[in-house]
Structure 1
C-alpha cells in the first residue's frame, strides 16, 4: 500500500512594514493509504551493518562479544528477501558477509551463514570510518529501488583519517543511503559521529554498556525495515529576489538541510528527507528573506511540495507574507516557530556549555548550561532536563540558576551531548 502524505504550514504571516524575514514550521505527516490500511514496508529494502573491529574493541573482551551479538540480532530482524551485508571496519573496510562486495538476500540459510561469519570476527588494527562508508556505498550501488540503510558502530576515534578526508567521503556518500551511528563506551567523539549521522540523515546515540547493543541494533533494524518510501524530498519554490536563510528539520531531531539543496528548476530547490514509514510525522523550520512590500500587500513567500523518488508530488503547502501596520497582528509569534526556535537554542547552549566546561571556562559553562536548564524548563523538555541535572546542580530551573558539578561521569556528559539535538515536539504530538 502506498503512503498518503500531508503538509501543514504553521506561521504568523503578518509582518510589520519593512520586515523581510518569513518563518514557518512545516509539518509533514505520512499515513497509510486512503483506504485506511497501514502502509506495507518496501520489499526492496537494503541494510548494511558496519562493525568496528579495531584493536580497541578487544578491551574489555565483552565489548566485541556484545557487538557480535548485536549484529546477529540485527540479522535476525531482517525480513526474508531484504538485501543485506555486514562490513568489518579497521583502518580498512572488509566484507564479512557476503564475501563479495554485494548484497545478499535474507533467508534462513543466509542468516545462519552470516552469523557464523560474524562469530569469527577478531579485533585488531586502527580506525578509518570514511573507508567503511565508501565500502557501504559500493555495496549499495545498483540498489536504487528501495530504502537503503546502514548502522555504524564504533568505540573509538577516527585516528587513521584526517577530518578533511572524512569530509570528502561524507560529501561523496551523502544521498546514497541513510544511516544511524552508535558509540559504545566513552572513548569516541560525539562531534565526529554526529557529522557522519547528519550526512546520512540519521541519528547518533551512546550505548554506555555493551550489554545494551543487541536491543538497540534490533530496534534500529526494525525501524529501517518499516520504511515504505525512500528518497523523499522537500521541494521549495521562492519568489524572485527571495533568499532561503535556512531549512532545518526541527523534530524529532535537529538537522540542518540548508546546504543539502539541489537545484530542481529556476528558484526551486530540493532538500532530502530520506525514507518514510506510515504513521510518521516530522517538523521542519523554514526561514526565507523576501523583498519587503507595502502595507496591505500579500505575497506567496514559498511553495512547499513533497516529492517522491519518481518525481510525483505527494503533498503541498504555502508560506505567506502579509504586511500590516497593525502591531497586534505583526507582533504575534507563531507558537510552533517560537517552540522550535527555543529547542534549537537549547541544543546550542548545551553544546557550547559542555565545550566550555572541557576547556575549564567555568563562567561560560555555568552561564550556557544554566540557559539550557531554563529553556528545557520553559519548553517542558523533561528528558533533557534530567540529563542536564547530572552535569549541573539545578538551584532554580525557572531562572536557570545552576552550579557546575565537581565530578561528572564521562557517560553522563556524552549522553547529554549526543541527545542535545533530540527535540520535544510542540504541543506533544499533533
Structure 2
C-alpha cells in the first residue's frame, strides 16, 4: 500500500518587521508499486524524429531503441508509435487501423517492431505536430489516466515558428507527461527544455546514437515504476498571506509557481505528476503581514493530495523575535537549495551569453556557477563546468572561457543545469 510522508525544514524565527517565511518540504513515497498494477490505466507513446537529418546511423539507432523500448512495456499497457517530421504520423497502430492506441500483448509487440523497422527519414521538423498527435491519441483512451511519452529528435524545430511549438506545449500541458531526448549536437536545448518542463519530464543529451537504446530502456523502466498516476502539492496560506513561489528543488529544479490552480480561496494546487518510490524536495516561500515580536502564526500548510485525498501534510511556522541569534540563522536546507536554483539560472544565462558572443557576461555568469557549485557541494556540476571554463579559483569564481570547449560539452552542461545535489542532513 502506498504511503507518503512530509517533513519540513526551516528557521521559523522572523525578525521584527519580517514578512517572508521559507521552508524546504521533503515528500517521500514508499510502497507505491508499479504502473503495471493499474491494468488498463497506463498509456505510453514513443515519438521518433524521422526528418531528413536522421538519415543513416542515427535513425538506425533510434529504430533499435524503439524496439528495445517495446520490450519493456508490460502487457496490458496502451501504446502507440508516432513518426515525426514536418508532419506527424501514427505508424502503429497502423494508419488504417480502426483504433489509435492498443494494449500491449505479444502480437502487438511484434507488429509494433515491424512498424518501427519501416521508418524512413525525410522532411523537416515541426514538433508541435508530434505533441498534438500524441495528445489526440491519448484522448481516445480516457481510461488511461497515467500517460507518458518519449520524444526523440536530432535537430532544431526548423519547419515552424517557435510560437507554434509554444502554443502546442501550452495546449497539451496537464494532459500527459513527456521526457525529451536530443541526439548529437544539432538540436536546441531550450526547445526541448520548454517541452519537458511544461510536461513534467526531463531533457537529456545523448551524445552518441549508440546510447539511445540504453536511455529508452531506463526511461521505460522509470515510467513503469510509477504506481501513482498523478499528485498535487497543495499550499494553504492564512488570510492576508501570499505564496511567493513554489519550486521543486530536488532531484531537479522546476518552478511550479505559475502552474497554480485554485482549490479554495486560501489553497492553491501545483502539479507534481506521477510518483514511484522516491523522495522530492520543494521550496515554498510565503509572505505574511508582519506581527508584533512574540507572535506566532501558521504560515502555510503544505499537503500532497492523490485523487483529491490528502496523503501527507507538513506545517510551515512563523515566530517573530527580537533575538538576532535566532532570526539570523539560515536553514541549511533553504540555503542549499537557494544556491542550487541560482546555479541552474547562471549556467543557462552564461551559456546563452557565450552563444551570443558576449564573453564578458558569460565569464561572470559561469564564474558565479563555479562558485555556487563549490558552495553547494555539486561535484557533478563542477565537473561539467571544467569542460567549458578554466577554473583559476573555485571559491571566488575566477574562470576563463575555454576556446577549445566542444558544442557537446556546452550542451551537456546546459541540459544538466537543473539537476541538483541533495542537501546533506
TM interval, shorter chain, is: over 0.9
Match of 1:42 in 2: 38
Q: 1:40 offset after TM fit, Å? A: 7.0
- Asked whether the 8 Å contact 2:72–2:221 carries over to 1, the reply is yes
Match of 2:185 in 1: 186
Q: TM-score normalised to the size of structure 1?
A: 0.95
Structure 1, unmatched stretches of 5+, are: none
Residue 338 (structure 1) aligned with residue 345 (structure 2) = no
Whole-angstrom CA distance in 2 between matches of 1:180 and 1:336: 28
Q: 1:20 offset after TM fit, Å? A: 1.0
Moved more, 365-374 or 114-123: 365-374
Whole-angstrom CA distance in 1 between matches of 2:251 and 2:265: 31
Q: 1:383 offset after TM fit, Å? A: 0.7
Whole-angstrom CA distance in 2 between matches of 1:260 and 1:144: 25
RMSD: 1.5
Structure 2, unmatched stretches of 5+, are: none
Residue 95 (structure 1) aligned with residue 74 (structure 2) = no
Runs of 4+ in 1 over 4 A off after TM superposition: 37-41
Residue 298 (structure 1) aligned with residue 293 (structure 2) = no
Match of residue 63, structure 2, among 64, 68, 81: 68
Q: Deviations over 1:187-216 (max 9, x none)?
A: 110011000000110100100110000000
Secondary structure in structure 2 of the residue aligned to 1:421: coil
Match of residue 282, structure 2, among 273, 281, 284: 284
Whole-angstrom CA distance in 1 between matches of 2:348 and 2:188: 13
Q: Deviations over 1:68-90 (max 9, x none)?
A: 01111111111111111110111
Secondary structure in structure 1 of the residue aligned to 2:416: helix
Residue 322 (structure 1) aligned with residue 319 (structure 2) = yes
Match of 2:360 in 1: 363
Alignment of 1:110-259 (within 5 A): 110-141=108-139, 142-259=141-258
- Asked whether the 8 Å contact 1:41–1:227 carries over to 2, the reply is no
Whole-angstrom CA distance in 2 between matches of 1:205 and 1:213: 11
- The structure-2 alpha-carbon separation of the partners of 1:207 and 1:39, relative to structure 1 and needing over 3 Å to count, comes to closer
- The structure-2 alpha-carbon separation of the partners of 1:332 and 1:387, relative to structure 1 and needing over 3 Å to count, comes to same
Residue 24 (structure 1) aligned with residue 27 (structure 2) = no
Secondary structure in structure 1 of the residue aligned to 2:422: coil
- Asked whether the 8 Å contact 2:42–2:145 carries over to 1, the reply is yes
- The structure-2 alpha-carbon separation of the partners of 1:155 and 1:148, relative to structure 1 and needing over 3 Å to count, comes to same
- The structure-2 alpha-carbon separation of the partners of 1:228 and 1:62, relative to structure 1 and needing over 3 Å to count, comes to same
Q: 1:163 offset after TM fit, Å? A: 2.2
